Amino acid sequence: MILIRKRPPPQALTTYRLTPDSTGEQPRAARYNDDDPHFTTVVKPAMREALVREQRGLCCYCNDRIEATDTGMKIEHRVPQHGPWRDPSRDLDWTNLLGACCGAIDNPRGRGAKVLHCDSSKAERPVALDPTEASHTAAIEYENGGRIHATRPEFDRDLDEVLNLNDETLVERRDKALTVLMHELRKRYGVGSWKASQFQKLLDQHRDPPGGSLRPFAGYLCWWLERAVRKSR
């Protein structure tokens, strides 16, 4: 998981929030309304593009790749839109909106329901973990092999029970991403003992890549490289 630094909302959303919603008996503040053609064709596309840009191309939770299309991502409400934990005042609050992957993996046995994770697993449940808070993402750790956990129990529950980020398939995909990174290290520096400066150079490139888009599972890769830098000093 990476720290998401929220930027100003897209102008289309700012303008839309100032436009009264007149679908009820009396005009009221604008709301997240998928029945409004302007919202779905103008505002939501602008929101998707802005979320992908500020998250540098990765899902807010699992760090898999997302794309600014209606099939390439979901707009996640960290504080839910519906259910007992909803807060209608935050439906269009940019600080509450995140970009999430579609969150469905084919059942590894080839039959039955898809395995859900991230926003799709969370549904209308609350989460304590906030990827826009530095102290929260600092509590995230990994294990060799790709499992994710947190130093704070409430975040650990979110990772396992709400977001399902330790699903077997996700863990395997993180581990494969690290295998690719190891191949890159061997190609650059050969086989043998690598120096802290070599790990640091690769870490800098993963934190601030050319073009701005991060690699999938960048949170795990950067964690591994940070630890490698410390160990090799």
- Cα–Cα distance, 149 to 143 (Å, whole number): 8
Q: Which residues pair with 21 in a beta bridge?
A: 28
pLDDT of residue 173: 94
DSSP 8-state code for residue 110 = S
- Within the chain, which residues score under 50 in pLDDT? none
CB 6 within 8 A of CB 78: no
Give the Cα separation of 189 and 192 in Å (integer): 8
Are the beta carbons of 100 and 118 closer than 8 angstroms?
yes
- 76 and 232 in contact (C-beta within 8 Å)? no
The answer to whether the beta carbons of residues 44 and 29 sit under 8 Å apart is: no
pLDDT at 33: 87
Tokens at 200, concatenated: 């640091």
What's the pTM value of the predicted model, to 2 decimals? 0.92
Task: Indicate the DSSP class of residue 232.
Answer: T
